[in-house]
Chain A
Amino acid sequence: MSGAGELLDLSLTGLSAALAAGRVSAREATEAALARIEATDGRVGAFLAVTAERARERAAAADARAARGARLGPLDGVPLAVKDLFLTRGVATTAASRILAGFVPPYDAAVVERLEAAGAVLLGKLNLDEFAMGSSNENSAVKPCHNPWDLARTPGGSSGGSAAALAARQAFGTLGTDTGGSIREPAAFCGVVGLKPTYGRVSRYGVVAFASSLDQPGPLGRTVGDAAALLQVIAGRDARDLTSSTRPVDDYGAALEEGARGLTVGVPRAWLAEGVEAGVARRVKEALALYERLGAKLVDVELPHTKYGIAAYYLIAPAEASSNLARYDGVRFGLREGGAGGLKGMYGATRAAGFGAEPKRRIMLGTYALSAGYYDAYYLRAQKVRTLLRRDFERAFERCDVIAGPVTPAVAFRLGEKVADPLAMYLEDVFTVTCNLAALPGLSVPCGLHPEQQLPVGLQLIGRPFDEATLLRAARALEREQGPLPRPAGLEA
């Protein structure tokens, strides 16, 4: 390996191969990543904490294993980073909220355990919208994150740090969580691959809860193969999360190179009509045409209830959030304010000082939707609409293997552009939330740059429950044919 720059250009799987062949050490890879973070993160803001000492210790242990010929697998010695929504034993976990100030968890999230058991080197904790609530990473109580393609623009949210760190070549792979699009949207905005697995495929144990029936951890990678390698390690049953599935985990790597020939790709034409920016629609249509050239068959599918997805989501997610966030009361962890005002005064003052505007808004909305007299009209109706959405997909998957469309209606927007209008921000998620409501897997893969704005466009692929392998196969076929995106321009100036 001739230099740190060349090393940082490697994909996760490329680095893994170089580590296995002894061409590079985990220490070199870790030092290169730490130096890159040091040099660039003042402008990007992807990291909330860098755990350099711990990373160096883990890298040294990986190198020692390699010297003994006892390499643990594809992630052994690979520097990664995780969204600061995953609990990390002995390392502060903030959920980008003031209310968790000073909180150092006594245990690791299941996915963190699995990454470390696989030998991964954790570089630190990544920026996000507070409690994963947002589509721009501007709701972080710590600092906004910037898009490495254009530092004046949002990286997307809520896993904005997870996508930006990859695009900025600060880490070789990252984890995020996706409740309504929070992996796929930032992946699309930053030109990387993001996979939201089927609900239940990856354990939520140790993930700070937002909306428990929707939240799902998942991988982000610079390539489809990188995302597959990460999913392989984090997927699978965890007895500590009763909603984690007992189904066997597929061999995701084996599916990657099967190509698109023989696949049937469902296209909801309505997703490419009204409301989608012309440059985004053009790139998505080109990707669809490419699938046809690669031997896939395109069929039209109808998802008639998509337009109700946002409305159902913004009742169900806040309702669950209002319940989950009730635990932040100043008693057991984090911030405490107003202790002199009695117990109720302390609750109210702690929550007033600790939560930012978006969590407060969602707690209020959820409390209202669940309150006496409104439950049937709002929450119960939304859950019924969720059934209709699920049925739409079931019918569509009778005719196709994957559904393809845009991830977002437009490319990355400017920081500050939608902050004052929450509803406009919520509408960003129009194509992503249905996947969560129906508990399906969804993936964002780059499909080129916007013809005028020169910013990444993401193609969304949605699959049958637990069929992540077909999503990865389809995404890899597109990636192989298109080749990599150019390097983001925002950090080069």
Chain B
Amino acid sequence: MALSLDEVRRIAVLARLELSPEEEQLFQGQLSAVLDYVAQLEELDVSGVEPMTHALAEAGAAPLRPDELQPSLPPEEAVRAAPAREGTFFKVPRIIE
């Protein structure tokens, strides 16, 4: 299935990726080739087949932790790796005009 350049650009917006014109061209071709390949799944009759929603048969059956307050990362530690911070807050560009 061939993707148009507009579709590539729309996906990039959804994915929050700025692409260069060269990347748009490259991905248009490469993603189209992969989508052509995965189209073979249409050969299979999957009516009545449940999707595999859990990789582990017992998933969902594992005991949850007790709902109790536990120590976690102190705020100073949690923001230490941020590229910009103010006190114990993550600092981001202004979003309100």
Contact A336 B84 (CB under 8 A): yes
Using A330-B83, A380-B51 as known contacts, say yes or no to A106 and B41 having CB atoms under 8 A apart.
no
- The distance in angstroms between the C-alpha atoms of A340 and B73, with both chains bound, is 30
Contact A423 B33 (CB under 8 A): yes
- The distance in angstroms between the C-alpha atoms of A473 and B79, with both chains bound, is 47
Contact B83 A336 (CB under 8 A): yes
| Chain A residues positioned under 8 Å from B81 (CB to CB) | 102-106, 332-334
Contact A349 B93 (CB under 8 A): no
CB-nearest residue of chain B to A211: B55
Contact A242 B64 (CB under 8 A): yes
- The distance in angstroms between the C-alpha atoms of A352 and B27, with both chains bound, is 14
Contact B46 A344 (CB under 8 A): no
Using A246-B62, A311-B41, A347-B16 as known contacts, say yes or no to A368 and B11 having CB atoms under 8 A apart.
yes
Q: Which of B15, B51, B64, B92 is the most central at the interface, judged by chain A CB atoms within 10 Å of its CB?
A: B15
- The distance in angstroms between the C-alpha atoms of A239 and B95, with both chains bound, is 38
| Chain A residues positioned under 8 Å from B14 (CB to CB) | 367, 371
The residue that B52 contacts in the complex, of A332, A336, A387, A422, with Cβ under 8 A, is A387
- The distance in angstroms between the C-alpha atoms of A386 and B84, with both chains bound, is 42
| Chain A residues positioned under 8 Å from B58 (CB to CB) | 200, 245-247
Q: Which of A315, A332, A426 is the most central at the interface, judged by chain B CB atoms within 10 Å of its CB?
A: A332
Could you tell me which residues of chain A, from 428 to 442, have a CB within 8 Å of some CB in chain B?
437, 439
Q: B4 at the A/B interface (Cβ < 8 Å)? A: no
Using A331-B92, A342-B93, A385-B44 as known contacts, say yes or no to A439 and B56 having CB atoms under 8 A apart.
yes
Could you tell me which residues of chain A, from 352 to 371, have a CB within 8 Å of some CB in chain B?
352, 355, 357, 360-361, 363-365, 367-368, 371
- The distance in angstroms between the C-alpha atoms of A339 and B78, with both chains bound, is 21
- The distance in angstroms between the C-alpha atoms of A386 and B42, with both chains bound, is 14
Q: Which of A103, A214, A365, A388 is the most central at the interface, judged by chain B CB atoms within 10 Å of its CB?
A: A365
Contact B51 A386 (CB under 8 A): yes
| Chain A residues positioned under 8 Å from B31 (CB to CB) | 361, 364-365, 368
CB distance from B16 to the nearest CB of A (A): 5
Using A322-B15, A352-B19, A380-B51 as known contacts, say yes or no to A308 and B40 having CB atoms under 8 A apart.
yes
Q: B69 at the A/B interface (Cβ < 8 Å)? A: no
Could you tell me which residues of chain B, from 10 to 26, have a CB within 8 Å of some CB in chain A?
11-12, 14-20, 23, 26
On chain B, which size bracket covers the interface? 35 or more
Q: A196 at the A/B interface (Cβ < 8 Å)? A: no
CB distance from B36 to the nearest CB of A (A): 9
CB-nearest residue of chain A to B48: A384
Could you tell me which residues of chain A, from 87 to 121, have a CB within 8 Å of some CB in chain B?
102-107
Give a binary string over A371-394; 1 marks a CB under 8 Å from any B CB, 0 the rest.
100000010111111111010000
Contact A343 B40 (CB under 8 A): no
Contact B41 A343 (CB under 8 A): no
Contact A383 B37 (CB under 8 A): no
| Chain B residues positioned under 8 Å from A340 (CB to CB) | 93
Q: Which of B33, B35, B40 is the most central at the interface, judged by chain A CB atoms within 10 Å of its CB?
A: B35
| Chain B residues positioned under 8 Å from A104 (CB to CB) | 80-81
The residue that B16 contacts in the complex, of A315, A339, A344, A388, with Cβ under 8 A, is A344
Using A199-B56, A243-B55, A380-B51 as known contacts, say yes or no to A385 and B17 having CB atoms under 8 A apart.
no
Contact A360 B93 (CB under 8 A): no
Contact B56 A361 (CB under 8 A): no
- The distance in angstroms between the C-alpha atoms of A334 and B16, with both chains bound, is 17
Contact B52 A239 (CB under 8 A): no
Contact A383 B53 (CB under 8 A): yes
Contact A382 B55 (CB under 8 A): no
Q: Which of A106, A311, A314, A380 is the most central at the interface, judged by chain B CB atoms within 10 Å of its CB?
A: A311
| Chain B residues positioned under 8 Å from A422 (CB to CB) | 30, 33-34
- The distance in angstroms between the C-alpha atoms of A197 and B93, with both chains bound, is 43
Q: A312 at the A/B interface (Cβ < 8 Å)? A: yes
Q: A27 at the A/B interface (Cβ < 8 Å)? A: no
Q: B63 at the A/B interface (Cβ < 8 Å)? A: yes
Contact B8 A364 (CB under 8 A): yes
Q: Which of A244, A246, A367, A390 is the most central at the interface, judged by chain B CB atoms within 10 Å of its CB?
A: A367
Q: A171 at the A/B interface (Cβ < 8 Å)? A: no
Contact A360 B27 (CB under 8 A): yes
Contact A363 B73 (CB under 8 A): no
CB-nearest residue of chain B to A240: B65
Contact B95 A342 (CB under 8 A): yes
| Chain B residues positioned under 8 Å from A332 (CB to CB) | 79, 81-82, 90
Could you tell me which residues of chain B, from 36 to 76, have a CB within 8 Å of some CB in chain A?
37-38, 40-42, 44, 46, 49-59, 62-65, 73
Question: Can you list 20 A-B pairs with a CB-CB distance of less than 8 A?
Answer: A200-B59, A243-B55, A243-B59, A244-B62, A245-B58, A307-B40, A311-B38, A314-B38, A342-B93, A343-B92, A347-B16, A348-B17, A361-B27, A361-B30, A368-B3, A368-B35, A378-B38, A384-B49, A386-B52, A422-B30
Interface residues of chain A, those whose CB is within 8 Å of chain B, are: 102-107, 199-200, 213-214, 239, 242-247, 305, 307-308, 310-312, 314-315, 322, 326, 329-336, 339-349, 351-352, 355, 357, 360-361, 363-365, 367-368, 371, 378, 380-388, 390, 422-423, 426, 437, 439, 465
